[in-house]
């Protein structure tokens, strides 16, 4: 179920003195099985773009096509669309509200009009996918849980609607390193299980560890897209946009400037391999 | 003067009577002019400690002394708040006025500073965070990093001796994080302000003069960044991580490359690699 953005533009408060164009003519396709990272400076239009993917915002011009169908067309079943594209906002745990974890995760499926038995099955499935122990916490208040667990309950609430495409806005912000690793692992597993994922992130190391493709927004325009390797090799261009690169890319770039040339890589493990080779066989390479 | 600037003495705190201790028997002396990074997993007690440092919470047992003043004594509250300012995580919850200059004035007004003295204090504070040119702007139109610098200026205007920043960079983008961290480092270096920097970013902690680690309410590690981060296994047991370059150095040692265990930054790694390449 690919999503295609076709010359998508969005202007906030059009016709008012506060008119601001957030997206200009964006053409982007999210293919099945993509794990697309959307990166860009604050205010570059990432969150605006994300909110078009399930129809929360309507384009000022251009179209959003899901499986070839315009999602803003009057004939489109918008309820079905919301279930097909699950959107997880920044700090989603701020939106938890039910008395128990089970009820909170079941809220979406209940809204879909499913039977109690099916709701319970979906809650169990979503908790399983996010590594939350049902027997231990299903009847607890979500507010008794740790920050990392609350974040996963919020994610499970979206997964319980069995979206085909999952859109995550800064999923690891504010989490401690362990909770971040767990959440990244959940996302990796969901993606392997066949869910397409769009992830907005400021953490280039998270992007390097997960993404299959990277799209870069600057001032509302799509300025680059490609594999993580292609994107992160453009260290200087990204720097001019105020963007970071993964730590491995940064070091590789520093080494290159110092006359030490290593093969293209953007993950620490890969860099460790090539750097170890270089240093061990160093005599003949060292200049 | 040998006295600690901020002294935690067997400090305990429970949110309700009989509830488990959120902070459990923590003793820590912070000296004047130190830049202490306070690390710990979500729920480890870091933010609770932050709120105990300037008397927002009072200890269940044990003591917090700021410049020798007990935070549990109500008579000290204003003096302590003036000397020890706090910056919180969400920049949007800390702005109170519609013009930057007035926002910075808010704390001074509360302290009853005569209005003729205010402009100088405000300008000086805004200059110190590189935001003077924004003095007459509307704060809600600024970036997250700029808003946090305004929050710091509001504290600086009161000429504090210490600033506690509780995950002040968590909601910012990389350039905003950089701005706020550099601002805090500069105030510490140039003005001798004591800084307590709470964070989940290990590479930020690597810039501190001292790192303290909390785990389930207890203080479990305390030392220089090099001492702390060279103990990769231990720090992972406390649900934390080490900075990326320290991790890389551990990976290289696993692959049989003999290099230092206490590398913290990409620049240090570069030096180390060059030295090894020369030897080879």
pLDDT in tens, chain B (280 residues): 457 899 999 999 999 988 999 999 999 999 999 999 999 999 899 999 999 998 999 999 999 999 999 999 999 998 999 899 999 988 888 888 999 999 999 989 988 899 999 999 999 999 999 999 999 999 988 888 899 999 999 999 998 999 999 999 988 888 888 989 999 999 999 999 999 999 999 999 999 999 999 999 999 999 999 999 999 999 999 999 999 999 999 999 999 998 988 999 999 999 999 999 887 6
Going by the DSSP 8-state scheme, the letter that residue A185 receives in this structure is H
Considering only alpha carbons, which residue of chain B is nearest residue A147? Answer: B42
In DSSP terms, B195 is beta-bridged to B35, B163
Residues of chain A with C-beta less than 8 angstroms from the C-beta of B43 = 146-147
Please judge whether A146 and B175 are an interchain contact, meaning their C-beta atoms are less than 8 angstroms apart: no
Please judge whether B255 and A273 are an interchain contact, meaning their C-beta atoms are less than 8 angstroms apart: yes
Helical ranges in B42-87 per DSSP H: 46-53, 77-83
Which three-class secondary structure state does DSSP give residue B258?
coil
**This prediction's pTM:** 0.89
Which three-class secondary structure state does DSSP give residue A44?
coil
Interface check A239 vs B, CB under 8 A: no
Number of Cβ atoms within 10 Å of the Cβ of B212: 25
Question: Do strands B61-66 and B35-40 pair parallel, antiparallel, or not at all (unpaired)?
Answer: unpaired
Domains within chain A, CATH numbers bracketed: 3-228 (3.40.50.300), 246-287 (no CATH)
Quick check: A205 and B244 in contact, CB under 8 A?
yes
- Which residue carries 């002396």 as its tokens? B29
Number of Cβ atoms within 10 Å of the Cβ of A26: 22
| ipTM summary value | 0.84
Interface check A12 vs B, CB under 8 A: no
A33 vs chain B: nearest CA distance in angstroms?
28
Domains within chain B, CATH numbers bracketed: 6-242 (3.40.50.300), 243-280 (no CATH)
B238 vs chain A: nearest CA distance in angstroms?
9
């Amino acid at each position: 179920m690919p999503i295609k953005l076709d010359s998508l533009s969005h202007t906030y408060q059009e016709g008012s003195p506060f008119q601001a164009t957030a997206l200009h003519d964006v053409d982007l396709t999210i293919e099945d099985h993509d794990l697309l990272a959307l990166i860009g400076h604050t205010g570059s239009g990432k969150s605006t773009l994300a909110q078009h993917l399930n129809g929360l915002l309507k384009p000022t011009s251009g179209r959003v096509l899901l499986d070839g169908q315009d999602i803003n067309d009057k004939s489109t079943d918008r309820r079905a669309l919301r279930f097909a594209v699950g959107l997880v906002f920044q700090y989603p745990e701020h939106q938890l509200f039910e008395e128990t974890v089970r009820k909170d995760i079941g809220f979406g499926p209940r809204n879909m009009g499913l039977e109690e038995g099916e709701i319970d099955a979906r809650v169990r499935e979503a908790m399983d996918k996010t590594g939350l122990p049902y027997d231990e916490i299903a009847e607890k208040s979500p507010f008794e849980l740790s920050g990392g667990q609350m974040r996963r309950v919020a994610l499970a609430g979206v997964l319980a609607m069995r979206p085909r495409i999952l859109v995550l806005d800064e999923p690891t912000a504010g989490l401690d390193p362990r909770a971040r690793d767990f959440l990244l692992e959940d996302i990796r597993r969901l993606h392997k299980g066949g869910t397409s994922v769009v992830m907005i992130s400021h953490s280039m190391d998270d992007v390097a560890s997960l993404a299959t493709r990277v799209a870069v927004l600057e001032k509302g325009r799509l300025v680059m897209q490609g594999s993580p390797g292609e994107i992160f090799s453009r260290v200087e261009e990204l720097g001019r946009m105020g963007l970071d690169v993964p730590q491995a890319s940064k070091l590789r770039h520093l080494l290159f400037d110092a006359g030490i040339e290593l093969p293209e890589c953007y993950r620490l493990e890969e860099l460790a391999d090539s750097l170890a080779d270089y240093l061990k066989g160093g005599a003949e390479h060292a200049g | 003067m040998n006295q600690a600037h901020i002294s935690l003495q067997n400090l305990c705190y429970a949110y309700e009577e009989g509830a488990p201790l959120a902070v459990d028997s923590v003793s820590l002396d912070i000296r004047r002019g130190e830049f202490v990074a306070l690390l710990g997993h979500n729920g480890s007690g870091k933010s609770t400690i932050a709120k105990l440092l300037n008397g927002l919470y009072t200890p269940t047992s044990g003591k917090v002394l700021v410049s020798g003043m007990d935070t549990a004594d109500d008579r000290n509250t204003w003096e302590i708040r003036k000397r020890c300012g706090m910056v919180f995580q969400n920049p949007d919850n800390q702005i109170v006025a519609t013009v930057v200059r007035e926002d910075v004035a808010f704390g001074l007004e509360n302290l009853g500073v005569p209005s003729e003295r205010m402009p100088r204090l405000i300008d000086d504070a805004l200059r110190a965070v590189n935001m003077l040119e924004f003095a007459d702007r509307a704060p809600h139109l600024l970036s997250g990093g700029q808003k946090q610098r305004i929050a710091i200026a509001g504290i600086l205007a009161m000429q504090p001796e210490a600033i506690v920043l509780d995950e002040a960079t968590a909601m910012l983008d990389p350039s905003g994080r950089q701005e706020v961290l550099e601002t805090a480092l500069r105030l510490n270096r140039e003005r001798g302000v004591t800084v307590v920097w709470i964070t989940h970013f290990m590479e930020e902690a690597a810039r501190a003069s001292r790192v303290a680690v909390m785990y389930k309410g207890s203080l479990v590690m305390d030392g220089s960044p090099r001492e702390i981060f060279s103990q990769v296994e231990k720090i992972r047991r406390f649900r934390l991580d080490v900075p990326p370059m320290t991790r890389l150095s551990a990976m290289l040692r696993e692959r049989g490359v003999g290099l230092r265990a206490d590398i913290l930054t990409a620049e240090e790694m570069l030096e180390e690699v060059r030295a090894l390449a020369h030897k080879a």
